[in-house]
Each structure stands twice: as C-alpha cells, then as structure tokens.
Amino acid sequence: MAKTNPEATLVFSGPLPWTASAACQGQTSLFFPPAGERPETRARRESKARELCAACPVLAPCRTWARDNRVFGYWAG
C-alpha cells in the first residue's frame, strides 16, 4: 500500500470561484512541466507563464491558494 503525504493533499469542496476569471484557463501545459523537460525549455515555458500571470485579474487569490496548498507546477507568477 502506497503512503500518501498529507501535506500534498489539496483540500477544496468544488470549483474555486476565482478560477472562472483566470487568464490561464485551458493552458495547463504552460504551467505543469512534462517529464524530462530540459532546462532551456523550462525557462521558455515559465517565462510565458510569468507573462500570463502578470496580467491576470486573479493573481492574488491564485497565489494565496497555491501557497496554502503547496501545489505542484507554476502558479501565480
């Protein structure tokens, strides 16, 4: 039986209200790296993600949620 890390468990009861206004909707591949991603490719992907986040109207709640939940991937600039 695999052990789970309770700190890595995301806790929410449904869609987060602020996500409906997020600029990143539908762009999952920009924020979560594929396996074996090269450093140069990662730098380009994260630069694009950073630009999108900088102009996002829900940057603050996204950043707070990501920090509170210790999420994987690139979140909130």
Confirm whether pTM is higher than 0.75.
no
Cα separation of 41 and 55, whole Å? Answer: 22
- CA 65, distance to chain mean position in Å, is 10
Question: What are the tens digits of pLDDT across the range 2-51?
Answer: 444 444 444 555 678 888 999 998 888 888 888 999 999 999 998 999 99
Read off the tokens for 46: 């994260």
* Residue of 35, 54, 32, 36 whose CA lies nearest to 45: 32
